[in-house]
Amino acid sequence: MNCFSLGTMKTVTRSYIKKRCNPLIKYIVEGGRPLFGEIHISGAKNAAVAIIPAALMVTGPCRIENVPQISDVTILLGVLQDLGASVRYLNPHTVEVDCTKLRNGRVPYESARQCRASYYMLGALLGRFGAADVALPGGCNFGGTRPIDQHLKGFKALGAQVDTQGGFVMAEAAGGRVKGTSIFLDKVSVGATINIMMAAALAEGMTVIENAAKEPHVVDLANFLNSMGANIMGAGTDVIKVRGVDSLRGGTYSIIPDQIEAGTYMAAVAACGGSVKLCNIIPKHMDCITAKLTEMGVEVQEVDDSLLVSRIGPLVRTNIKTMPYPGFPTDMQPQVAAALCLARGTSVITDNVWNSRFRYIDEFKRMGAQIQVDGNLAIIEGVERLTGAQLEACDLRAGAAMLIAALAAHGISEITNVQYIERGYEDVIGKLRSIGGSIRAVEVPEEEPLAVSSAG
């Protein structure tokens, strides 16, 4: 049950968003059976949440295809509408955005609180108008801070005056337009790479971004901007060159399939056993995940733009070290941890990207998992079985990991705060049911206490 499943030609409205993103829902999962069937992978969330803000840089209609039906997308389309863009769905996965008449306005905290990626409006507005005023994103929900110092470093290097005041970031370029420059990022940062690339696309002159992130969604954004008339070279390497242009025209672009959604279902097969075909994949994007799951005893066959993922024999322990792409993605760490709880032997997970992304471990322990956490390290002793329990999702990927653990566990599990999961997974109930998962969504009775949700 996603936050919205718009029909054709329906305009996104804020009230529609509020009505449909209902935190008073929980999932009931009956686990303990293998998974068999076929799933179509949706457009990539982390590409969509960059491409939608980038559309505001374009004067003319942008037709964006393969848009995932997830609440982060709904929220960002709502922000564009609030700024005066016209937004209309041509079909459930194709949206036409026309920002010709868009005005530069303040992006409110309410949006930043619900969707962290609203901070991409900074780079887009700064590029188009030479000024931006955007609420700082909420604290991350995997514990610890999620700094944006590299984003601000980039904007300053592009000649913008940057102030953070009253929970907002205000940036203004001298002379009304950012100027090309060279930026060496202190840390490999997906968000900073994307935000700076957007601002630089309409800068005066050439910008060189060094130590850039290489994730597939960074490349997808560059390809989107280039299809609208930008001049970006080197995306996917650690040196991106952006020759600023005066304006971007409209066009059509299709978002890449979601590497992490696909990996999540692969981890579900690893944990539950069975055989599932994942359709609409870019196999190259899956290499790091495929290699690791193969070590764990999962069989992965590439067939054109699909993967056939099977696990018949026992799960085997392994060690995971998350790294920026093309290393093992941190966004797959919780999901693989769920499978490793059932692997024979001791596994060690080291998250080198986020230093405290293990809040979900306590929930797994309530299912019988044997896990110790020390900072950015988790040591997992595999057990014979997990048992169903009441679980509370604490962020998007942790929620997905709890779904996997619940599907593999014997007995019934209840998962609350599922709005986190629906931020990034389209029709997760329908897709899991189509491969034999026993899962349903129920209303949370009013008297049940609700955890406060915050964006991540």
- Please identify every residue annotated as catalytic: 140
Single residue of 66, 69, 189, 306 touching ligand EPZ by CB under 6 A: 189
Residue 264 near ligand EPZ by CB under 6 A: no
Site string for ligand EPZ, 60-99 (x = CB under 6 A): ----------------------------------------
Distance between CA 435 and CA 364 in Å, rounded? 23
Residue 146 near ligand EPZ by CB under 6 A: yes
Where are the extended beta strands (E) located within 106-179? 131-135, 160-165, 168-173
Distance between CA 342 and CA 34 in Å, rounded? 14
Query: Where does this chain touch ligand EPZ (CB under 6 A) — which range of 7-15, 86-94, 144-152, 436-444?
Result: 144-152
Neighbouring C-beta atoms of residue 246, cutoff 10 Å: 8
Cis peptide bond upstream of 283, omega within 30 = no
Site string for ligand EPZ, 402-441 (x = CB under 6 A): ----------------------x-----------------
Residue 42 near ligand EPZ by CB under 6 A: no
Task: CB nearer to ligand EPZ: give 396 or 429.
Answer: 396
Residue 117 near ligand EPZ by CB under 6 A: yes
Single residue of 46, 181, 259, 310 touching ligand EPZ by CB under 6 A: 46
What element of type H or E holds 89?
Answer: strand 86-91
Distance between CA 275 and CA 456 in Å, rounded? 32
Single residue of 149, 287, 443, 448 touching ligand EPZ by CB under 6 A: 149
Task: CB nearer to ligand EPZ: give 150 or 417.
Answer: 150
Contacting residues for 221 by C-beta, under 8 A, at least 6 apart: 47, 50, 51, 54, 194, 197, 198, 235
Single residue of 62, 73, 190, 286 touching ligand EPZ by CB under 6 A: 190
Distance between CA 399 and CA 26 in Å, rounded? 11
Which DSSP letter does residue 131 get?
E
Interacting positions 201-240 with ligand EPZ (CB under 6 A): 213
Task: CB nearer to ligand EPZ: give 189 or 310.
Answer: 189
Return the structure tokens found at 265.
Answer: 């279902």
Single residue of 293, 353, 393, 401 touching ligand EPZ by CB under 6 A: 353
Return the structure tokens found at 105.
Answer: 């306005």
Residue 330 near ligand EPZ by CB under 6 A: yes
* DSSP assignments along 224-238, one per residue: HHHHTT--EE-BTBS
Query: Where does this chain touch ligand EPZ (CB under 6 A) — which range of 146-154, 196-204, 267-275, 294-302?
Result: 146-154
* DSSP assignments along 385-407, one per residue: --B--EEE--SHHHHHHHHHHHH
CA torsion 376-379-383-387 (nearest 10°) is -30
Shortest Cβ 352–ligand EPZ spacing (Å): 9
Total residues found in the chain within this entry: 456
Residue 150 near ligand EPZ by CB under 6 A: yes
Single residue of 147, 167, 327, 345 touching ligand EPZ by CB under 6 A: 147
What residue is closest to ligand EPZ based on CB? Answer: 191
Shortest Cβ 147–ligand EPZ spacing (Å): 4
Distance between CA 132 and CA 186 in Å, rounded? 23
Residue 183 near residue 207, CB atoms below 8 Å: yes
Residue 203 near residue 127, CB atoms below 8 Å: yes
Please report, as ranges, the residues that interact with ligand EPZ according to CB under 6 A: 46, 49, 117, 146-151, 187, 189-192, 213, 330-331, 353-354, 396-397, 424, 456
